[in-house]
Amino acid sequence: MEKLFSKTYIVVENPHEKDAAIEIIDGEWKGLVYQYGKVEFVENKNHLNFQRTIRRIPEGGDLDELLNNNELNNLMGDILVELMQEQIERDKHEHRKIEGTNKAT
């Protein structure tokens, strides 16, 4: 799967919020900013459930339509999976760095 980061979305910070948000930068939902909430894995299925909070609606957008749009929900899920995969890779890299440091001492 082709990476979506920097083509479809970017991570944005808000000094008044603890967690970063996602901004869609291309396509039908360009300008949409949202944050992930609670994330759950569905046992025995290849499925994620997640909460999200819309922080900024794209120009001409409708909140109810956005919240009930399956295509947008799938995109948000794809972005979430990509973010989780990136975090796993960073954690593996950091773990290898720490193990390498421990072996050298």
Give the residue-averaged pLDDT of 8-32. Answer: 93
Residue 3 maps to a domain: no
CA dihedral 82, 46, 77, 36 (to 10 degrees): -90
* Average pLDDT in the chain: 88
pLDDT exceeds cutoff 60 at 104: no
pLDDT digits (tens, 9 = 90+) for 34-54: 999 999 988 888 888 999 999
Sheet holding 9-12, edge to edge: 9-12, 21-24, 33-42, 47-56
Q: 57 in a domain, yes or no?
A: yes
Asked if residue 88 is part of any domain, the answer here is yes
Q: Is residue 29 part of a domain?
A: yes
- Domain residues for the domain of 43 are 9-104
pLDDT tens digits, one per residue of 52-75? 999 999 999 999 999 999 999 999
2 located within any domain = no
Q: Is residue 16 part of a domain?
A: yes
pLDDT band, residue 105 (cuts 50/70/90): very low
- Give the 3-state DSSP-derived string for 48-60, with helices as H, strands as E and coil as C: EEEEEEEEECCCC
Encode 50-69: b = buried (16+ Cβ within 10 Å), e = exposed.
eebebeebbeebeeeebeeb
Q: What is the largest CA-CA distance in the chain?
A: 60
Total residue length of the chain: 105
Q: What pLDDT is attached to residue 101?
A: 67
Q: Is residue 4 part of a domain?
A: no
Task: Look at the chain and report how many structural domains it folds into.
Answer: 1
Q: 69 in a domain, yes or no?
A: yes
